[in-house]
Amino acid sequence: MCGIVAYTGSRSAVPILLDGLTALEYRGYDSAGLVTSTRMYKEVGNVAALRACLDADTSLRKKGKEKKEQDTAGIAHTRWATHGEPTKVNAHPHAGRDERVWLVHNGIIENYLELKQSLEAAGHSFRSDTDSEVLAHLIESHYTKKRAEKHTLAQAVTEALAQVRGTYGIAVFDRKQPSEIVVARMGSPLLIGVGAGEYVIASDASAVIRHTRDIVYLNDGEYAIVSPSNLAIYSLSHEKKTHTIDHIDWALEDVQKQGYEHFMLKEIMEGPEVLRASARGRIKASSGDVVLGGLAEHADALRGLSRLVIVACGTAYYAGCVGKRLIEELAGIPVEVEVASEFRHRRLLYDRNTAVLAVTQSGETADTLWSIREAKKQGLLTLGVVNTVGSTIARETDAGVYNHAGPEIGVASTKAFLSQIEVLAMIAVYLGRMRGLSEREGKALVAELLQMPDLVAEILTHKDAIKEVATHYADATNMLYIGRHMNAPVALEGALKLKEISYLHAEGYPAGEMKHGPIAMIEPSFPTLAIAPRDSVYDKMVSAIEEIRARKGPVIAVVTRGDTELAGRVDAIMEVPETHELLSPLLTVVPLQLFAYYVGVARGYNVDRPRNLAKSVTVE
Ligand code: G6P
């Protein structure tokens, strides 16, 4: 979704802002813009379009023998439209009436219409349809009204924010005193990269990493005054805050394609390494135990859990559905899984021995975050399986486990899904060993988990065979995905992946539900992807496949390597190695990810930037 970059220091700001915006492109956006003390540009479309318009202007300036540009501060933005269409005028930055105060904003100002009306009554007129422009006017009106009293920009910002309802991450500056940037945060992430005599502010660390790995995370309800020589953080009620500097443990290469055509393919291919990283130092093969330092402090509460509720969105939700089966089987704890946008609005009828576990790659998804806050209000223990270190959900949950999967750039989540399932499997063994899972069972599971990177690597060596199948079916208009037991959620995730990046309509169903509706759609032009590894529900999957074949529906099956029985009966197969039934989603999802990727590519789409989608959904 929307992204913010701001810079103050001694270097030329424009290239830093543009590179920062490029690093944020993966989040999904439809227009971009930037402002420094002497220049302001906005463009619909991608950052390259913005860069081109800047380059054209720079060469004009050179022809006109203007002085070399020396702006050393500025703010910039990628916009994902919420209020108003993606047009140049709606793109950020936005200015107040006198075009002195400029702002970039992530989030939603809920009472913007009310504020707009009162500003209009005071003579303001607005250029755009956005809620963000209203905030720019509001800040400027506080700033200019009191300038005689030497009102600072920070004071004006906090006074304006006191009138606002909604969510925001903002960077604001006075074009006449550009080196001081005021930033504030409520519900929309912001971090400040600390360099030598400079600060790079962004909504996401990937925009900062090429300059510094030292980061200060702003908390909700805080604002900061940032100038090249100083960083001061306060609460919105003006209490001075001390800040700590965190160190990011990944590098610039992690957010680069490294020779792959797309981030999505790179991230699928990283599967084995991601599984190794998520398990590193956590598995004790000799005793069948899992060590999860992030949960240790709450071990007693976890031992006495009566219920676990997993909340998540999108792909993370399907990982949660796999986690439910794992935790119920191995730890005997009843688990509910709920889409976070539903959980947060209903009455929560849980006892004090319930814990709520958020599963989230970004750690910033608005609905997941608010679900955790609701759970906290009810006095429930909150836990997180989070990939992004230092993210809001990581910081607000009582305890949790980091994925350590590294940054995920492709909008369609792939490596994070694998890692989420692996971490949930480790949590299941961890809880299970506290609650009666035998050493023998524990050992068998962790031994298989340790094998998993090699098994995934083996599937990846057959990616060309999967490409061939995908290319063959790329012209389909509809597809059904079916799976059962551990692989029912995998079917749903496989269908989601295909929808996201190939815009091919796909539905995922638990195979047993097929006869209750979807079978009506089966015909020769409607292929089904059936996930049917050799497991306890194999025979039932074979029956479901037969029912589809009887209606002349083409079937592609994900099967255990060497399964000649099914291979002879279906139109195409994608093979996975044998593994423990409970862990099979870690393998069966890999061909589905590759299948979706190759279908998307064959249909000619930019799979890393699917239309209308955002990597991290930070608004409700
Ligand atoms: C968006 C992304 C999905 C992701 C979901 C949840 O929809 O496009 O790939 O699964 O958000 O994101 P989270 O960061 O909470 O895992």
Whether 66 has a pLDDT exceeding 60, the answer reads no
3-class SS of residue 382? strand
In this predicted structure, what is the pLDDT of residue 268?
98
**Which residues lie closer than 8 Å to 53 by C-beta, 6 or more apart?**
41, 43
Contact predicate 453/419, CB 8 Å: no
Contact predicate 340/315, CB 8 Å: no
Whether 273 has a pLDDT exceeding 60, the answer reads yes
In this predicted structure, what is the pLDDT of residue 574?
97
**Average pLDDT for 279-294:** 96
Q: How confident is the model at residue 69 (pLDDT cuts 50, 70, 90)?
A: low
Report the distance separating Cα 91 and Cα 364, nearest Å: 23
Neighbours of 562 (CB within 10 A): 11
Provide Rg for the chain, Cα atoms: 26
- Give the strands of the sheet with 528-532, arranged side by side: 505-510, 478-483, 528-532, 555-560, 572-576
Q: Which of 426-435, 448-457, 589-598, 604-613 has the lowest mean pLDDT?
A: 604-613
* Bridge partners for 165 per DSSP: none
Contact predicate 496/613, CB 8 Å: no
Report the distance separating Cα 499 and Cα 527, nearest Å: 14
CB neighbour class for 38 (10 Å; exposed up to 12, middle 13-18, buried from 19): middle
In this predicted structure, what is the pLDDT of residue 61?
67
Q: List phi, psi (to 5°) of 409.
A: -100, -40
* Bridge partners for 543 per DSSP: none
Report the distance separating Cα 96 and Cα 35, nearest Å: 13
Q: Which uninterrupted H or E stretch holds 144?
A: helix 131-145
CA dist 154 → 187, 396, 576 (Å): 19, 26, 58
Give the residue whose CA is nearest to atom 15 of ligand 1.
Answer: 360
Q: How far from each other are the two terminal CA atoms of the chain, in whole angstroms?
A: 12
Report the distance separating Cα 44 and Cα 474, nearest Å: 31
Mutating to test ligand 1, I would choose from 617, 618, 619 the residue with most ligand atoms within 8 A of its C-beta, which is 617
- For the Cβ of 615 lying below 6 angstroms from any atom of ligand 1, the answer is yes
Mutating to test ligand 1, I would choose from 359, 396, 616, 618 the residue with most ligand atoms within 8 A of its C-beta, which is 616
Q: What is the pLDDT of residues 35-51, one digit of tens each?
A: 999 999 999 998 999 99
Per-position DSSP letters for 159-215, written without gaps between them:
HHHHT--B-EEEEEEETTSTT-EEEEEEBS--EEEE-SS-EEEESSGGGTTTT-SEE
Could you give all domains of the chain from N- to C-terminal order, each with its CATH number? 2-248 (3.60.20.10), 256-460 (3.40.50.10490), 462-620 (3.40.50.10490)
Residue percentage of the chain with pLDDT more than 90 = 86
| Ligand 1 centroid from CA 391, angstroms | 14
Per-position DSSP letters for 267-325, written without gaps between them:
HHHTHHHHHHHHHTTTEETTTTEE--HHHHTTHHHHHT-SEEEEEE-HHHHHHHHHHHH
CB neighbour class for 240 (10 Å; exposed up to 12, middle 13-18, buried from 19): exposed
Q: Which uninterrupted H or E stretch holds 337?
A: strand 335-339
Tokens of 440: 């023998």
- For the Cβ of 403 lying below 6 angstroms from any atom of ligand 1, the answer is no
Whether 256 has a pLDDT exceeding 70, the answer reads yes
In this predicted structure, what is the pLDDT of residue 257?
82
| Ligand 1 centroid from CA 245, angstroms | 27
Q: Which of 137-151, 189-203, 445-459, 485-499 has the lowest mean pLDDT?
A: 137-151
Q: How confident is the model at residue 344 (pLDDT cuts 50, 70, 90)?
A: confident
In this predicted structure, what is the pLDDT of residue 81?
86
Per-position DSSP letters for 236-267, written without gaps between them:
TT--EE----EE----GGGGS-TT-S-HHHHH
In this predicted structure, what is the pLDDT of residue 63?
63
- For the Cβ of 365 lying below 6 angstroms from any atom of ligand 1, the answer is yes
Could you tell me how far CA 335 lies from the centroid of its own chain? Answer: 24
Q: How confident is the model at residue 64 (pLDDT cuts 50, 70, 90)?
A: low
- For the Cβ of 387 lying below 6 angstroms from any atom of ligand 1, the answer is no
Longest alpha-carbon distance in the chain: 85
- pLDDT averaged over the chain? 94
Whether 62 has a pLDDT exceeding 70, the answer reads no
Report the distance separating Cα 28 and Cα 526, nearest Å: 31
In this predicted structure, what is the pLDDT of residue 516?
93
- In this prediction the pTM is 0.86
Nearest ligand 1 atom, CA 613 = 8
Q: List phi, psi (to 5°) of 378.
A: -85, 0
| Ligand 1 centroid from CA 616, angstroms | 6
| Ligand 1 centroid from CA 442, angstroms | 31
Mutating to test ligand 1, I would choose from 203, 206, 343, 365 the residue with most ligand atoms within 8 A of its C-beta, which is 365
Whether 617 has a pLDDT exceeding 90, the answer reads no
**Average pLDDT for 553-557:** 97
Which has the higher per-residue pLDDT, 56 or 150? 56
> Which amino acid is it at 502?
S
In this predicted structure, what is the pLDDT of residue 149?
62
Give the residue whose CA is nearest to atom 7 of ligand 1.
Answer: 314
Contact predicate 606/427, CB 8 Å: no
- For the Cβ of 485 lying below 6 angstroms from any atom of ligand 1, the answer is no
3-class SS of residue 405? coil
Nearest ligand 1 atom, CA 28 = 8
In this predicted structure, what is the pLDDT of residue 481?
98
Q: Which uninterrupted H or E stretch holds 51?
A: helix 47-63
Q: What is the pLDDT of residues 291-334, one digit of tens each?
A: 999 999 999 999 999 999 999 999 999 999 999 999 999 999 99
Q: Which of 229-233, 317-321, 327-331, 389-393 has the lowest mean pLDDT?
A: 389-393
3-state secondary structure 520-565: HHCCCCCCEEEEECCCCCHHHHHHHHHHHHHCCCCEEEEEECCCHH
- Active site members: 2, 615
Whether 65 has a pLDDT exceeding 70, the answer reads no
Report the distance separating Cα 538 and Cα 467, nearest Å: 25
In this predicted structure, what is the pLDDT of residue 1?
75
- For the Cβ of 314 lying below 6 angstroms from any atom of ligand 1, the answer is yes
The CA dihedral of 320, 325, 330, 332, to the nearest 10 degrees, is 100
Whether 253 has a pLDDT exceeding 90, the answer reads no
What's 611's DSSP letter? T
Contact predicate 302/431, CB 8 Å: yes
**Average pLDDT for 387-405:** 94
Q: Which uninterrupted H or E stretch holds 3?
A: strand 3-8
